[in-house]
């Protein structure tokens, strides 16, 4: 059976997933049709020239259009920033309509982040030392409990995605990845392939979804000190900076520079700790290939790309 898919590309993650899906040798994926949701005719033409089908839209806030588009597809991969509750639930409502019209299951894959699980070591507002495993049955309950204490946009969106999917019986799956537990974007794209292959081949048989459908993707860990030094050394090597010191800043100053003054978002994403274990993802057959050496090399590679883009 030919399956109809819709993918929303977003930055490097979405683009890499699209590229990986299109190059896959998997027979099930080869027999699937992919459509990309694109904002802007000029961008759509780039993908059209590469053989992709595209659908134009103006804004994720136009939830009626988003829902109508989603109602035409069997599976949605959403790589947009995971903070828009209305657009995420519109995708799922559209898939619910699709299920009713076709009589077959529809699936929603939502990209989130493990900042949802992070502690708050700067403000001391929350202490967390556990290593979270994606086969643990109570992760959804934990997200609800944390959000009741401190509402956080990413957590709020994830909870809404899961609860809406359960209400409409749409199978939703969440992929969690964040900087503190890095994953190479090419390895991450292969996880989407593993998930997609599973639902096309077997449906949801023996496949956790809903409140159990949280899949981690971390492949390595680093401290924020290591991360900062990696950026610093790469920029020094390229003579992009002259200083020989790394300046430490407080939460308020950092938030003003990086997150528009949102101190909670800044702390959870750029100064917190979180530990996860991707057991459920590996049970799907996911086999990440990138190593610690690839992570260390990426600082210089990325710095070169940034400098090239500014010429």
Residues 242/244/250/251 CA torsion (nearest 10 deg): 60
pLDDT at 94: 94
Q: What tokens appear for 276 in the block? A: 């996860």
Q: What tokens appear for 242 in the block? A: 């002259």
pLDDT at 215: 92
Question: What tens digit of pLDDT does each residue of 171-215 get?
Answer: 665 544 434 788 998 999 999 888 888 888 877 777 888 888 899
pLDDT tier, 64 (very low <50, low <70, confident <90, very high otherwise): very high
Nearest in space to 28 (alpha carbons), one of 57, 11, 5 = 5
| Residue bearing tokens 């309950």 | 141
Least confident range of 8-12, 94-98, 302-306: 8-12
| Residue bearing tokens 């033409």 | 45
pLDDT averaged over the chain? 85
Q: Are 193 and 24 in contact (CB under 8 A)?
A: yes
Residues across the chain = 311
> Phi-psi category of 118—alpha, beta or left, where left has phi over 0 and alpha has psi -120 to 50?
beta
Q: Are 198 and 284 in contact (CB under 8 A)?
A: yes
Q: What tokens appear for 84 in the block? A: 């828009």
For helices 85-102 and 63-70, give the axis angle rounded to 10 degrees.
Answer: 30
pLDDT at 177: 40
pLDDT at 246: 84
- Give the residue, 30 or 235, on which the prediction is more confident: 235
Question: What tens digit of pLDDT does each residue of 69-86 get?
Answer: 999 998 888 887 667 788
pLDDT at 172: 61
Question: What tens digit of pLDDT does each residue of 248-274 get?
Answer: 888 999 999 999 999 999 999 888 888
HEC string for the chain: CCCEEEEECCHHHHHHHHHHHHHCCCHHHHCCEEEEEECCHHHHHHHHHCCCEEEECCCCCCHHHHHHHHCCCCEEEECCCCCCHHHHHHHHHHHHHHHHHHCCCCEEEEEECHHHHCCECCCCCECCCCEEECCCCCHHHHHHHHHHHCCCHHHHHHHHHHHHHHHHCCEEEEEECECCECCCHHHHHHHHHHHHHHHHHHCCCCCCCHHHCEEECCCCCCCHHHHHHHHHHHHHHCCCCCCCCCCCCCHHHHHHHHCCCCHHHHHHHHCCCCEEECHHHHHCCCCCCCCHHHHHHHHHHHHHHHHHHCC
Question: What tens digit of pLDDT does each residue of 1-24 get?
Answer: 344 555 544 445 777 888 887 787
pLDDT at 9: 45
Question: What tens digit of pLDDT does each residue of 218-258 get?
Answer: 999 988 888 889 999 999 999 888 887 888 888 999 999 99
Percent of the chain with pLDDT over 70: 92
Average pLDDT of the segment spanning 90-94 = 93
């Amino acid at each position: 059976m030919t399956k109809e898919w819709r993918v929303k590309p977003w930055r490097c993650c979405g683009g890499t997933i699209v590229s990986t899906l299109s190059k896959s040798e998997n027979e099930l994926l080869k027999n699937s049709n992919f459509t990309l949701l694109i904002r802007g005719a000029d961008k759509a033409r780039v993908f059209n020239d590469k053989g992709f089908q595209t659908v134009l839209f103006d804004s994720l806030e136009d939830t009626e259009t988003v829902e109508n588009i989603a109602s035409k597809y069997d599976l949605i991969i959403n790589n947009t920033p995971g903070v828009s509750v209305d657009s995420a639930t519109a995708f799922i409502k559209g898939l619910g309509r699709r299920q009713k019209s076709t009589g077959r299951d529809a699936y929603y894959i939502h990209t989130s982040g493990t900042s949802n699980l992070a502690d708050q070591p700067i403000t001391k507002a929350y202490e967390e030392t556990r290593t979270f495993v994606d086969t643990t049955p109570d992760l959804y309950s934990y997200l609800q409990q944390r959000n009741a204490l401190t509402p956080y946009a990413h957590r709020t969106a994830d909870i809404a995605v899961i609860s809406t999917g359960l209400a409409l019986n749409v199978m939703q799956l969440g992929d969690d990845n964040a900087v503190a537990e890095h994953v190479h974007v090419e390895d991450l794209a292969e996880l989407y392939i593993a998930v997609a292959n599973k639902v096309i081949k077997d449906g949801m048989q023996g496949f956790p979804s809903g409140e159990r459908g949280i899949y981690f993707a971390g492949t390595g860990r680093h401290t924020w000190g290591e991360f900062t030094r990696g950026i610093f050394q790469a920029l020094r090597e390229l003579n992009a900076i002259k200083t020989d010191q790394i300046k430490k800043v407080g939460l308020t100053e950092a938030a003003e520079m990086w997150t528009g003054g949102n101190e909670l978002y800044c702390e959870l994403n750029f100064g917190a700790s979180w530990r996860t274990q991707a057991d459920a993802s590996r049970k799907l057959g996911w086999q990440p290939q990138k190593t610690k050496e690839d992570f260390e090399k990426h600082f210089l590679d990325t710095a070169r790309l940034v400098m090239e883009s500014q010429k």
